[in-house]
Amino acid sequence: MKPIKILFVAMTCISMTACSSPTLEQRVAQLYDNMSRAECVAQLRSIYISALLTPDGKIDEAKCKELIPNGIGHISQFAMDLGLSPDEQRDRVALLQKWLIENTPNHIPALVHEEALSGVNALDATVYPQQIGMACTFNTELAEKKARLSATALRAMGGTLALSPMVDVVRNPSFNRLEESYGEDGYLSAAMGVAFVNGMQHRGNLHEGVAACTKHFLGYGGGGDAPEKELMEDILLPHEAIIRTVGSQVVMTGYHAFNGTKSVANKWLQQDLLRGYVGFDGLLVSDYGSIPQVGDMLSPVDLCAAAMNAGNEVDFPNGDTYIHIPEALEKGLVSEETLEKAVKRVLMLKARLGMLDNTARLYSNGHIEFDTEEERATSYQLAAQSIVLLKNDSVADSEEAILPLTAEKLSRLGGRVFLTGPNANSMWALAGDYTFQAMHYFWQNKEESPLHPKYVFLKDGMEQKMPKEGSLFYSRGCDWTEEPETVMEVGGDPRVAEQRKIDRRMVDSHEFADWDEALQMAHQCDVIVAAMGENVMLSGENRDRT
């Protein structure tokens, strides 16, 4: 009887193998084998969705057949590009995904990405504190909740990838993107970055969350030339912690050079350090327009080969360099194996997100509600916890501190409060660099309403909370600066070079700043609140002050 038992077990195992579902790797391999070279190249490129739509928001069949006949891997910054309500943006994404599935050879949908540093970069989306403010909360639990809410909102519109978080360890206070970071401490940056990615990726449930993209690898915010101990223990720490512990799905290099070679074309950085040492098995993408900056003397096909051979797999935002992949292959500058690895990593991310399933959830149905009570409450909690009180001076001869301004205290002081300063009655200090309002103004010179979502200015808030024992007086007093101070950074996002007028651009306060009036009011009041600080044109990507 013994041989019969062995035969039965063997037959059972064969049966189980035949009936089991293929692994993600097997599905990706099978899909790749069915793809033409043109389809493979398309998966490594990106496009703006507006290039594929008619003016009234319908699919432009002629444009799609011309620009994406073999599909497309990625859609760039779709919410900022469209600038529509969540429902309208979702509807555009739905039309495009439907066209891709029904009209391209292997029916592959596109990864749709957007920024999500201060919440989703979209009209009506809740605005959260910038990451430098998030770091001041020291609250990883609330930071994760914020990222999870943002991911849910992004996924509802059809987004599947967030080009966030930025976890550069920044120790240079004049670095123009400092506010995107968690500051100078590697451990804090790692802790907050892990929380962010956990929230974005819904703790590994990628069918519900979105893929996170940690950036910029490595040392873009400073420290790339640091001694080895500092580089490995501090500058690398946030990236390593995020990848090893919570599995960030995507990594983006920066515009900077690392040991003399641009990071997007640096093989040691991407292959030896990131993949070999850290163990990253996800997708590597370029920053917007960084590949052409590898070398002025290189031809487009040489630029393509330099980035691909170093390990970069996707060319953002348009794929204008990777369109030369076929030529690079024909000349032997790039191997078929390199192309295969890159394409399979794009397909694997789509598989992990459930985008290749027959029942793929590519967007939500029904009305999308943005800026919910839960989201606003979370933003408020984070903002309150991010406040850093540098000093709370005593009042005259009393030992009592000025803050908080309670009704009883105001009554004793005299009750007259004077509010002044350029950020007292303005959206621009509240709209962080990567919010919809800020990005639309900086990149497209369009000023958006402070009502989508509703910004509560300091003046509004103080008027609402002012007790009857007090009176509030207001005069702007001064502007952020008398003359435009911003200059364009050399390098970085190449879109800036197309708008040289930025050198002389300032945001409009829509108020007259009367210095004499402010001084007169100040003399008449008992307490002065001065709202100082910067605005979107004085701080942020590609913005330097003289």
Residues of the chain with CATH 3.20.20.300: 31-352
Q: Where are the alpha helices (DSSP H) in 158-282?
A: 186-200, 228-230, 237-246, 267
> Between β-strands 486-488 and 543-545, what pairing exists: parallel, antiparallel or unpaired?
antiparallel
Say yes or no to pLDDT of 489 above 60.
yes
The residues, ordered by sequence, that sit 6+ positions from 191 with a Cβ below 8 Å of its Cβ are 140, 241
Angstrom distance (rounded) from CA 545 to CA 480: 12
Angstrom distance (rounded) from CA 400 to CA 397: 9
> Between β-strands 257-258 and 416-420, what pairing exists: parallel, antiparallel or unpaired?
unpaired
Phi and psi at 54, nearest 5°, equal: -80, 165
The CATH number that domain 31-352 falls under is 3.20.20.300
| pLDDT tens by residue, 434-476 | 999 999 998 888 899 999 999 999 999 999 999 888 999 999 9
The verdict on pTM exceeding 0.75 is yes
Angstrom distance (rounded) from CA 466 to CA 486: 37
**pLDDT grade for 16, boundaries at 50, 70 and 90:** very low
Element containing residue 474 per DSSP (H, E): strand 471-475
Q: For position 13, what pLDDT does the model report?
A: 42
Q: For position 142, what pLDDT does the model report?
A: 98
| pLDDT tens by residue, 35-82 | 999 999 999 999 999 999 999 999 999 999 999 999 999 999 999 999
Bond prior to 3 in cis (omega within 30° of 0): no
Q: For position 543, what pLDDT does the model report?
A: 82
Angstrom distance (rounded) from CA 87 to CA 157: 7
> Between 137 and 540, whose confidence is greater?
137
Angstrom distance (rounded) from CA 126 to CA 403: 29
Angstrom distance (rounded) from CA 367 to CA 461: 30
Phi and psi at 472, nearest 5°, equal: -105, 125
Q: For position 10, what pLDDT does the model report?
A: 43
Say yes or no to pLDDT of 202 above 50.
yes
| pLDDT tens by residue, 405-442 | 888 888 888 999 999 999 999 999 898 889 999 999 98
Phi and psi at 213, nearest 5°, equal: -125, 110
Angstrom distance (rounded) from CA 157 to CA 125: 11
For the chain, what percent of residues have pLDDT higher than 90?
78
Query: DSSP letter at 449?
Result: P
Angstrom distance (rounded) from CA 479 to CA 72: 46
| pLDDT tens by residue, 249-306 | 999 999 999 999 999 999 999 999 999 999 999 999 999 999 999 998 999 999 999 9
Mean pLDDT across 518-523: 98
DSSP string, 458-473: HHHHHHHH--TT-EEE
Q: What is the mean pLDDT of the chain?
A: 92
Q: For position 3, what pLDDT does the model report?
A: 45
Q: For position 534, what pLDDT does the model report?
A: 87
**pLDDT grade for 8, boundaries at 50, 70 and 90:** very low
The full 3-state SS of 416-444, as one line of letters, equals EEEEECCCCCCCCCCCCCCCHHHHHHHHH
**pLDDT grade for 157, boundaries at 50, 70 and 90:** very high
Bond prior to 216 in cis (omega within 30° of 0): yes
Q: For position 500, what pLDDT does the model report?
A: 64
